[in-house]
């Protein structure tokens, strides 16, 4: 029987890769809904090609196939898919993730911001409503594969690998003059702009630590980051008996996406290149120079400071990165602005879904104003 599937954020990097895999396996999937933000051209192409039942974007244009829906609540009212891929970027992914899990849906979750800000609540929501979260982020997919059939009490630590991003070999003095093009030239992964900037600052790794802590209910001190420039090992889990399990593959998001699409089965794909070990000269692990850990240390310190700090980090970082991409703040100016906003931010409110969203919104606006 065909799996009914919806992709929220179908025009982005994760979304298009997901559609690529579905195209290869049309006999296995029926596309129910696809959505975009502003990229009408790509959305229309996808609607014409895949003929989903519904589509959504910020415009009100109607296409030759399917029916336009007006918002995510409407989507979840009409859409009866078995699998919902949440490939939206940034804070836009938070509400659709919550709506889907409240309805007990199976969610393939790429959007990391939702897991960072309120992952523990989201995981509970999913359990209470009979939903399921399958992580699509490569590191989390890897760790999940390592630990899901193990006794979590026997896990000594999990390790997320980091390539170091596009600026890993730049001298610290050069960072002030870094351009958007410099940052977007990621050495190993091809991703959307926001996450590529976050990879270069290492804030992406801070997000991933919090994501792993929430997703797997592990304390922050059991999660480590290891710099591994080849991006061939994605995640590792070390157990109390000294055994380590790891997941390796070429850096290609199609691999965790394919795993998620067919989970719990495994499926082969002509679109996936398998590792040829003889062509790999080395697997290296290194320490990052301390002077380049400014963002990382700031972010990690924040995670440990308050339950709402991850929400601050997500909102503030979103604003800073948007302003950087628009050329309104320098690369190093992003962190300076976030630190200034953090200094005067009030965290003295209760932690719940409402205050999470309010904190994301407030830190976003305060950071925009700080930069303007």
Q: If we measure between CA atoms, which residue out of 281, 283, 302, 116 comes closest to residue 211?
A: 116
Assigned token pair, 368: 């925009």
How many helices and strands in the chain, by DSSP H and E?
A: 14, 11
| Residue (96 or 238) nearer to ligand NAP, CB | 96
Decide if 303 contacts 310 (C-beta within 8 A). Answer: yes
| By CB under 6 A, residue 333 contacts ligand NAP | no
Please select the residue that binds ligand NAP; options are 6, 46, 97, 111, rule is CB under 6 A. Answer: 111
3-state secondary structure 150-177: CCHHHEEEEEEEECCCCCCCCCHHHHHH
Place of tokens 């990382």: 296
Smallest separation (angstroms) from ligand NAP to the CB of 359: 18
| Residue (15 or 66) nearer to ligand NAP, CB | 15
**What is the crossing angle of helices 331-343 and 353-371, to 10°?**
120
| By CB under 6 A, residue 113 contacts ligand NAP | yes
How many other β-carbons are positioned within 10 Å of the β-carbon of residue 307?
18
Task: Answer positive or negative: Cα dihedral of 362, 363, 365, 366.
Answer: positive
Smallest separation (angstroms) from ligand NAP to the CB of 102: 19
Assigned token pair, 195: 């996450």
| By CB under 6 A, residue 14 contacts ligand NAP | yes
| Residue (187 or 192) nearer to ligand NAP, CB | 192
Considering only CA atoms, give the Rg of the chain.
20
Which range, of 166-174, 185-193, 234-242, 275-283, touches ligand NAP by CB under 6 A? 185-193
Please select the residue that binds ligand NAP; options are 87, 159, 237, 356, rule is CB under 6 A. Answer: 87
Place of tokens 């898919």: 81
| By CB under 6 A, residue 76 contacts ligand NAP | no
Decide if 198 contacts 317 (C-beta within 8 A). Answer: yes
Please select the residue that binds ligand NAP; options are 53, 105, 106, 112, rule is CB under 6 A. Answer: 112
| By CB under 6 A, residue 109 contacts ligand NAP | no
| By CB under 6 A, residue 370 contacts ligand NAP | no
Please select the residue that binds ligand NAP; options are 2, 23, 26, 38, rule is CB under 6 A. Answer: 38
Which range, of 107-115, 209-217, 275-283, 338-346, touches ligand NAP by CB under 6 A? 107-115
| By CB under 6 A, residue 195 contacts ligand NAP | yes
What residue ranges bind ligand NAP (CB under 6 A)? 9-15, 36-39, 87-89, 92-93, 110-113, 137, 189, 191-192, 194-195, 253
């Amino acid at each position: 029987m065909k799996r009914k599937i919806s992709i929220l954020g179908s025009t982005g990097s994760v979304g298009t890769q997901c559609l690529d895999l579905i195209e290869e396996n049309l006999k296995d999937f029926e596309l129910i809904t696809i959505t975009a933000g502003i990229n009408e051209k790509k959305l229309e192409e996808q609607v014409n090609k895949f003929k989903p039942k519904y589509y959504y974007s910020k415009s009100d244009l109607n296409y030759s196939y399917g029916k336009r829906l007006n918002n995510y609540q409407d989507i979840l009212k009409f859409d009866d898919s078995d699998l919902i891929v949440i490939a939206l970027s940034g804070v836009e992914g938070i509400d659709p993730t919550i709506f889907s899990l409240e309805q007990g849906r199976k969610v393939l979750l790429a959007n990391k911001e939702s897991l960072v800000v309120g992952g523990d609540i989201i995981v509970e929501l999913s359990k209470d409503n009979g939903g399921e979260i399958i992580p699509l982020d490569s590191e989390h997919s890897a760790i999940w594969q390592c630990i899901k059939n193990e006794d979590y009490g026997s896990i000594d630590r999990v390790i997320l690998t980091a390539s170091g991003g596009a600026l890993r070999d730049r001298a610290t003095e050069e960072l002030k003059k870094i351009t958007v093009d410099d940052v977007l030239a990621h050495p190993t992964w091809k991703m959307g702009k926001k996450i590529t900037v976050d990879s270069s600052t290492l804030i992406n790794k801070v997000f991933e630590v919090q994501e792993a802590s929430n997703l797997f209910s592990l304390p922050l001190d059991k999660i480590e980051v290891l710099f591994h420039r080849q991006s061939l090992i994605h995640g590792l889990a070390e157990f109390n008996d000294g055994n380590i399990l790891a997941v390796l593959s070429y850096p290609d998001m199609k691999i965790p996406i394919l795993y998620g699409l067919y989970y719990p089965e495994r499926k082969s794909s002509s679109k996936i290149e398998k590792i040829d070990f003889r062509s790999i000269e080395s697997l290296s692990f290194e320490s990052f120079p301390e002077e380049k850990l400014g963002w990382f240390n700031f972010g990690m310190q924040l995670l440990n400071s308050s339950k709402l700090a991850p929400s601050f980090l997500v909102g503030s970082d979103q604003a800073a990165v948007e302003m950087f991409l628009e050329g309104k703040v320098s690369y190093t100016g992003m962190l300076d602005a976030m630190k200034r906003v953090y200094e005067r931010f009030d965290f003295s409110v209760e932690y719940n879904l409402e205050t999470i969203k309010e904190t994301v919104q407030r830190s976003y606006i305060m950071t925009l104003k700080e930069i303007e």
